[in-house]
Structure 1
């Protein structure tokens, strides 16, 4: 019997690889985003929606924010996130089951609301309305992604090209360099919920073992859905053969962030 088809956005069963192998975001971008807020980190209540296993949430907590709340709909991801965050340095992180349109949190509960590699899974209008509801006056919403810069490394280009061989019409849902990000600045500027839209980006290099590099691929949802189980397994086998014998894989990432201030009613 064939396994049941995986739904887009369903990370059940992928959380262990996601937790162990996904890279952090660029620390310089985090510093710049903190600089846009009107108060020091120690006076910030932060909510991270679509937190996954808490990679970005832990980075926020490590900066000494007053409180950090992680909102995540997937039980598997949330369980791994809670375990990962139990021993993390910095502010304790509270975990809540919810999503970008229905967080379950009270209104005006935070100064900063972030969505790291998750805003593309949310309806834009419903998501921005919920963000506005949760933010206090003067608070900011930030959507960010951490796409790879494969064009800088021939090996990574070769591996990516194999995907096109397996499925020429493949669409990367969460690459952070296409799709909704192409028009995100304009859509946020036109939104009735936000103003003062700022875009930031920063490069960083992550040195990965072969095991971690392969594990990061195993944690990807959109490829599994579009390729199907058989072709996805063939792709992983290709990657494993291609990186065999390598001690490290240097992967370049580009953290891209859009930050917008909560719009207040006209006086």
Structure 2
């Protein structure tokens, strides 16, 4: 079951999340279109667990008719500030506030692992139109980059559990989709990077759910130590972050 305290922790840091979290590369939506077998322009899309609207905005820019679904007060308020012209409704993946057979595509960007799959799987299938698709994706850790791997280990040690996106947070719950009658799933991975100021990199780390429930003193001590380490690696203050987007698209017949 998802950790509810971690799931709700984002609401108090919605502005920080919006300002510092990475987006996704253009190749991601190119691949979603390829695997769902239709273009996004004109497609009816529901973005579940939309948060501050990072994925919702990209889907809208591609021409999709997109509606966001978000359970958190803080995240929904930040979404409305940033994307006032896009529709958002309150709800979560376990009980979608959407009509049956109403969507061509349902997306879960960094959010599927917060659902209870015993409930979210049948809900997604209820809302999906015949021939539609589900797309789940995460920005995961590029462990082949030495400084990133070392940082991930330090974060795990400090928080007492994995708090960086090492892989899909619950691989088994995602793969469950592949075994459902009438669904065919395909997994793809895409590597990408972004160059950001050191402050942005540290603020992104501080927006991880495990840090948001960590004591303030412990979190600030870790970030101060991390600042010193990264200054040695990136003396100009610009951090090159590398990600591996892990995507699973399941299509119905």
Whether TM-score is above 0.5 comes out as: yes
Shift of 1:143: 0.8
**SS of equivalent to 1:41:** coil
User: Conserved in 1, the CA contact under 8 Å of 2:45 and 2:66?
Assistant: yes
Report the count of equivalent residues.
246
Is 1:236 aligned to residue 229 of structure 2? no
C-alpha deviations, 1:117-172, integer Å up to 9, x for none? 00000011211111111111111011110113143142x333333224435x4233
Which residue of structure 2 aligns with residue 206 of structure 1?
A: 194
Q: In 2, are the aligned partners of 1:108 and 1:136 still within 8 Å (CA)?
A: yes
Counterpart position of 1:75: 73
Mapped partners of 2:141, 2:156: distance in 1: 17
Cα-Cα RMSD = 2.1
Unaligned runs of 5+ in 2: none
Aligned equivalent of 2:165, options 152, 170, 175: 175
- Provide structure 1 residue ranges, at least 5 long, that are not aligned to the other structure: 1-5, 87-91
State the shift of 1:21 in Å: 0.7
* 1:107 maps to 2:105: no
For 1:132, the equivalent position in structure 2 comes to 125
What secondary structure, in the 3-state scheme, does the structure 2 residue paired with 1:42 have?
Answer: coil
Question: TM-score, normalised to structure 2's length?
Answer: 0.89
Distance, in Å, in 1 between the alignment partners of 2:23 and 2:114 is 20
Answer yes or no: is the 8 Å Cα contact 1:26–1:254 preserved in 2.
no
Tell me if structure 2 keeps the 8 A contact 1:176–1:256.
no
Q: Does 1:259 align with 2:246?
A: no
Change (3 A) 1:45 1:243: same
